[in-house]
Structure 1
């Protein structure tokens, strides 16, 4: 029997890579869409003819029950979220509703539908659930690198909401015997990353400055350090987590740290420019409560699931810059600076 997967956030960066991966594994893939979202104009536009879609909203319990009942999935990947961390300070209540309580609503939908239709599933009636947790839950971490046993100290409404989603997933696993896991993913980027995120803001600016479309790049804290990997690698880890005999949570990252300054230096080097000639530090772009150092201790996911990243940091930044150069060469020139975003 062909396995069915339901992905929330399918039109986002991770959702598009996960949809590609699951299709390559022979799945029937469904995407949860809210309102009038048009998948053909999104990151999954090239896959639209191979996907199925169902209406639903992480803030609407009834819609999630209806969606799960319609799809009857074997696996649910909850990637839907308001994912721009600095923006969570502007919409803290909405971020909590979507990123936190939305997880609870999906778990409840799965539990309700599983109770009604458990006989359909070979896994004892259990729909397997993946929650997209985040390294931002560690925040002001007490240790570096961070592992599955590191305590959480989130530093933003985004991190707090993700922490709730992580804990409620574990609670439903332990209380109801659900196959529910969380992947604590560290920063993962790609050419499909939104332009508000710092790595994509950097790659796009380097390409635009090289082509003469932009003069400078405004950034905030250049010393913030992250563990950056390639999103296409990380969705493989998501899938592997739902293929195990017993559910467990995993930290996923490269284990290598790089600063925002490193990302800038690498991106501008890709286009033959020196970053100090074009980058301006703007204190207004610094987060209210900064998370200085995040680095993954991913020994468990490597040992137990056999997962390994295939793209290193330099390759990732080059991939993003070259993609932006190629795309900009096909588009009309628009003057002016990029809007303030990123850090």
Structure 2
């Protein structure tokens, strides 16, 4: 089996590459500049020399088609695109183009191939918006509240349209928040764990955050890429919510991260209104019942375990 991972340099792409290599796949990975990208995550996992790399600009249809023709994949995992909700408010056009137009180009290019590869599209829980303390499942209506969520919602419906219109094997994994030691430092979970670690090692800095009353469903990224692969192994393509089914506030996440180092977070954290987004989801939790029933997938790590794993993975200035 041969797979093309679009966006292989990111957290999910790197863990997915590791998983597929372990299953005997020939793994190809795309980046906008395969020659200039450092691929630090692949190197951290010790698999950089085991994957084949190709340059691909998702917004450029010809670039996508060339990458697909070179790799000739049986499976395509589209994980590329601007991935930060916060940054999407600052760069809405780039966010929507890289996600929605990128997804469209991949779908259209795959449709032209014979045979057409199976396609996994990385969806997002952000599409649901605030679910009002209800668990979101595959039937929950979308109410996107950020440019990122709007883009992901558009991409979801593109996948749905191509699946129905052209009988393509294409599906979306609607993933809730999932973390790991490979998370970029701009993500709040990485920021929290990194800062707590430095303070425990003697730093006098103060951790500044926005709202701490927001609730999120946090899982462990290496588990979530297993679900991606499982979705493409079924007889019929379907969309799945991937989540732990539990939610915690950001304050609870902060408290647990500092408690790991025997620190009281209240002595080291303050709120900064500059980090409050124009619109913010207060409550987010997923219902993974369908994935458990049809894929046999279930999250094994809760928030406490995720935090411990991030810290043990070396989330500090060295990482």
Fold conserved (TM > 0.5)?
A: yes
Q: Aligned partners of 2:231 and 2:304: how far apart in 1?
A: 27
Aligned twin of 1:12:
10
Aligned twin of 1:23:
21
Task: List alignment gaps of at least 5 residues for structure 2.
Answer: none
When the two chains are superposed, the root-mean-square deviation of aligned CA atoms in Å is 1.4
Q: Aligned partners of 1:81 and 1:187: how far apart in 2?
A: 16
Aligned twin of 1:65:
65
- Displacement after TM superposition at 1:126 (Å): 3.0
- Displacement after TM superposition at 1:41 (Å): 4.3
Aligned twin of 1:121:
none
Find out whether 1:195 has 2:185 as its counterpart: yes
The SS at the match of 2:174 is strand
Contact 1:40 1:48 in 2 (8 A): no
Aligned twin of 2:83:
83
**Residue 181 and residue 290 in structure 1: after superposition, are their counterparts in 2 closer, same or farther (change >3 A)?**
same
Q: Aligned partners of 1:240 and 1:75: how far apart in 2?
A: 12
Q: For residues 188-245 of structure 1, give each alpha carbon's deviation from its aligned partner in whole angstroms, at most 9, with x where no partner exists.
A: 0001101111111100010011112342100001000000000000000000000000
Q: 1:152 aligns with which of 131, 135, 142?
A: 142
Q: Aligned partners of 1:141 and 1:206: how far apart in 2?
A: 31
Q: Aligned partners of 2:135 and 2:7: how far apart in 1?
A: 29
Contact 1:205 1:214 in 2 (8 A): no
Contact 2:3 2:73 in 1 (8 A): yes
Aligned twin of 1:164:
154
The SS at the match of 1:218 is strand
Contact 2:7 2:30 in 1 (8 A): yes
Q: Aligned partners of 1:199 and 1:83: how far apart in 2?
A: 14
- Displacement after TM superposition at 1:294 (Å): 0.8
Find out whether 1:232 has 2:222 as its counterpart: yes
- Displacement after TM superposition at 1:10 (Å): 0.4
Aligned twin of 1:303:
293
Contact 1:203 1:324 in 2 (8 A): no
**Residue 70 and residue 263 in structure 1: after superposition, are their counterparts in 2 closer, same or farther (change >3 A)?**
same
| Bigger radius of gyration among the two | 1
Once the two structures are overlaid, the 10-residue window that deviates more, 28-37 or 301-310, is: 28-37
The SS at the match of 1:183 is strand
The SS at the match of 1:43 is helix
- Displacement after TM superposition at 1:37 (Å): 5.2
Aligned twin of 2:92:
92
Contact 1:6 1:29 in 2 (8 A): yes
Contact 2:34 2:54 in 1 (8 A): no
Contact 1:81 1:98 in 2 (8 A): yes
